[in-house]
Structure 1
Amino acid sequence: MDIQTSKIELVKEILNLENPSLIQRMFDLLKSEEKDAFELTEIEAKEIQIGIEQFDRGEGIKWDDFLKSIS
């Protein structure tokens, strides 16, 4: 079954649900998954900020030099 067919089947099942508690749990799960995919942890945000500050001070290296250093 492809993804579009799976989505349609899922929507059909959801529309037939009558249990408010289950619907709420499914809603909460979907929202938490969506949030997890797009939010950075505090550590990740700090590391990105450090990188931006280093770049602003001219402390970066060329992409090709970086690739050579890790290969």
Structure 2
Amino acid sequence: MDLQKRKIEFVQEFLKLQSEEVITRLEELLRKETNSLVQENSKPMTKEELNERIDISEADFQNNRFKRSSDLLKKYQ
């Protein structure tokens, strides 16, 4: 059974639930698993990666490849 079909079946079963306690437990499980996946996929930058990003940012600034915060604020007001 493919993942898309499994998700649809899960949602259909979830919609049939009448127990608030079971729904709460499923919500907690989903939140816990989501947080766990985010932490697994997040890794700190190495010192070298950080320095490389700093160098790129400084070069962008020197070559006028940046936007001022005031320009960004105007765009979204």
TM-score range, shorter chain: 0.5 to 0.7
Partner residue of 2:7?
7
CA distance in 2: counterparts of 1:35 and 1:7, whole angstroms: 19
TM-score, scaled to structure 2: 0.53
Per-residue deviation at 1:4? 0.5
Alignment RMSD (CA, Å): 2.4
Partner residue of 1:52?
47
Q: Which stretches in structure 2 are left out of the alignment for 5+ residues?
A: 52-77
CA gap of 1:55–1:24, structure 2 versus 1, over 3 A, is closer
TM-score, scaled to structure 1: 0.58
Partner residue of 1:20?
20
Partner residue of 1:29?
29
Q: Deviations over 1:4-38 (max 9, x none)?
A: 11000000000000000000000110111000111
Between Structure 1 and Structure 2, how many residues are aligned? 50
% same residue: 32
Which letter does structure 1 place at the counterpart of 2:4?
Q
CA distance in 2: counterparts of 1:24 and 1:5, whole angstroms: 24
Q: Which stretches in structure 1 are left out of the alignment for 5+ residues?
A: 57-71
Which letter does structure 2 place at the counterpart of 1:19?
S
Partner residue of 2:69?
none
